[in-house]
Amino acid sequence: MSISNGMRLIAISVGKAVPLFVAAVGTEAVVMSGIRKHPLSTLLHPLSVAVRPLGLAGDEQADLSVHGGLDKALYAYPAEHYAWWNARRREARLPEAEKPLVPGAMGENLTLEGVLETDLWVGDLLRIGDVVLRVESPRQPCYKFNAVMGYRHAIKHMVQSGYSGIYLSVVTPGDLQAGAAVVIEPGPRDVSIESINTRQRNGRQTPLF
């Protein structure tokens, strides 16, 4: 049975691979990254964006060993988590924290409303218009996430909260527009996204799907 209770796509974001300054204890470097995304299609300006087997037209990933490819063609993130991240940034006393994060700030391609990690299982399908996407895995954040969020506990916060977002593969390519309804078609439901996040939070390795 399909699930479609008020779920929708509220923004589509893309980004080019550009230099990103990263720092850790005793080290710092500049690396290439496509994590900085900007909204291309929004509810106010619902432009059509092409979805291809390897992702959105105009989007780039720098490190294909951990991002991109068929199983991580798109990254989706729940809009509901943004208020929580805004609060964490204020707690970290970031100078820019009073300015709310905008869609794409988590590095996501698709900002979804009403679609949470706890709703999804590996193998579920998301139907958005004519496009069909398959749920593959939650995000396992790397050091670049700390850099783009602006404080050193961002990775820890994502892992502990389970607010990971999800990677998607493309089953049926097509065109997407912000504002489109999202329908979940349950798959075999053997492994939930929540259970993978729990294992990650507990420090155990998670099998790849």
pTM: 0.93
User: Above 50 in pLDDT, residue 17?
Assistant: yes
Mean pLDDT along residues 35-59: 97
Tens-place pLDDT, residues 147-173: 999 999 999 999 999 999 999 999 999
Q: Are strands 74-78 and 166-172 parallel, antiparallel or unpaired?
A: antiparallel
User: 115, 39, 34: which is closest to 72 by C-alpha?
Assistant: 34
Q: Which CATH superfamily is domain 8-201 in?
A: PK beta-barrel domain-like (2.40.33.20)
- pLDDT for res 206: 40
Q: State the average pLDDT for the chain.
A: 92
Phi, psi for residue 200 in degrees, rounded to 5: -65, -40
Task: Decide if pLDDT at 62 tops 90.
Answer: no
Domain ranges of the chain: 8-201
Q: In whole angstroms, what is the distance from residue 35 CA to residue 59 CA? A: 10
State pLDDT tens for residues 102-128.
999 999 999 999 999 999 999 999 999
